[in-house]
Chains A and B, each alone.
Chain A
Amino acid sequence: MNRLTQLLEAALFSAAHPLSVDDLRRVTDDASREDVRQALTVLGTHYDADGHAVELIEVAEGFQIVTRSAFAEAVAEAQIVRRPRKLSQAALETLAVVAYRQPVSRAEVEEIRGVSVESVLRSLLERGLLEVIGRGDGLGRPLLYGTTPLFLELLGLRSLDELPRLEELSVALRPPSERGEPTEP
């Protein structure tokens, strides 16, 4: 590994969140984006080829060193890491609506979900999965919400483009008998 690759490894190792190519460029004075990308490929290949327990992944519009999933059970059972807390159904539905409709106001989310979402919005804001990204033009200039990089990180998505397209979710349009769901528990 050359010095740039080593510098990138050091930066990624010490970071708590994914680093973008531009973040990573700051470790040297003279590296171009292309240099950084090449060095990242070298680092990733190094981890893969030499049988390392960690891998380099692209997530949340950046790069991150993570453990391979093969070691998840062992590491988690030894209580060395804590898995992120599970989200409630209400939180998941709210995240889903915001992810697709952002920037979106509380009223719009409530219209789709059919319930008040005030408290669940607040807890998602506190967890850093949603943030206020502006104000709408409507009555009272409502706050508009959007997803954060942490949301992408939690799901392991590179960007919002990786969300499934709504047209692909056709299950809802099929009659119930074709859904393969158990009808009687």
Chain B
Amino acid sequence: MLRRIAFRVDAGTGMSVSVKGAAADTAFVVQVEAFSGPLDLLLHLIREQEIDIADIPIASIADQFLAVIDRLGLNDAADYLEMAAQLIRIKVQMLLPQPFDDEQWEDPRAELVRRLLEYEQFREVADWLVSQANEHGSRFPRGWIPDPPDQPPRPVLMELEDLLLSVERVIEAMPEPILHRVVPRPLDVEGATTRIRSLFEHRDELGMSEIVGPGAAIVDLLSSLLALLELARIGFVSLAQRQPFGSVVIRRESTDAAA
């Protein structure tokens, strides 16, 4: 009983295997991704054909199995190849004439059957786990269950040349820097007024030199002088010079007068 196995690629679902029965002309489609391993595929083939697991037609099954893995990607096929080798070995052993003393003869399929049954048991357990998880999943616990850690980001793979080219592109895209020359701004009358007012916040009496500060430019000196005269006019300070060319003493007037 040989079956033809054809492959086609579905745009949406990826590769699918369609196995055409020779006896019944109905085709069925199997997702390759749905097989969780060679035992799964083997069980699938056995079940589809309603084969007695204790009496597997090994030659036919081996051929079908080989046809399927023939088209699988090599990485995926590694586990399947191992199974294929076993199937072929069993097939060969079955062809050998049986010894006359039947007591000694062991069915070469026995180990495979044992594995299949064991595997099917665990498949059933897996199904049970799903039903159990679904049943329990409808009862939500109080409290926050952290999500599993995210996959670490994939390392960035690039050639050194590409990296350097990128750097060059970025540098080229950068605008030419515009340079400014910073020129100290001369103190104007308004600025000088503010400065003098702030100086008088802590003291009541200041000398002219203290207001102007050391190393003042002529512009600053004039600004300060004009500011002082203006402040004296509005009554914020009083100016006194005790003798000609003597130092000028600047005194703050009472707060009321300043206001």
A residues touching B (Cβ–Cβ < 8 Å)? 12-18, 54-55, 57, 59, 64-69, 72, 75-76, 81, 83-84, 87-90, 92-93, 95-97, 99-100, 112-116, 126-128, 153-157, 163-164, 166, 169, 171-173, 175-177, 181, 183-185
Interface-located stretch among B58-66, B130-138, B189-197, B220-228: B130-138
Contacts of B149 in A (CB 8 A): 126
Contacts of A175 in B (CB 8 A): 52-53
CA distance A66 to B51 in the complex (A): 46
Minimum C-beta distance from A9 to chain B (A): 11
B10 at the interface (CB under 8 A from A): no
Secondary structure at chain B's binding surface: helix, strand, loop or mixed? helix
B218 at the interface (CB under 8 A from A): no
Minimum C-beta distance from A107 to chain B (A): 13
Nearest residue (CB) in A for B135 is A156
B residues touching A (Cβ–Cβ < 8 Å)? 26, 28, 34, 36-40, 46-48, 50-53, 78-79, 82-83, 115, 117-126, 128-130, 132-133, 135-145, 148-149
Secondary structure at chain A's binding surface: helix, strand, loop or mixed? mixed
Minimum C-beta distance from B248 to chain A (A): 77
CA distance A159 to B144 in the complex (A): 22
Minimum C-beta distance from A81 to chain B (A): 5
B132 & A156 in contact (Cβ 8 Å cutoff): yes
CA distance A97 to B48 in the complex (A): 25
Minimum C-beta distance from B35 to chain A (A): 9
Q: Which 7 A-B pairs have CB atoms at the shortest separation, nearest pair first?
A: A156-B136, A16-B143, A72-B138, A115-B37, A96-B125, A172-B120, A69-B138
B148 & A128 in contact (Cβ 8 Å cutoff): yes
Nearest residue (CB) in A for B83 is A114
Q: List 25 A-B contacts (CB under 8 A).
A: A66-B139, A66-B140, A69-B135, A69-B138, A72-B138, A83-B137, A84-B145, A89-B36, A92-B130, A93-B123, A96-B125, A100-B122, A113-B37, A113-B39, A114-B40, A114-B82, A115-B38, A127-B148, A153-B141, A155-B133, A166-B121, A172-B53, A172-B117, A176-B51, A176-B53
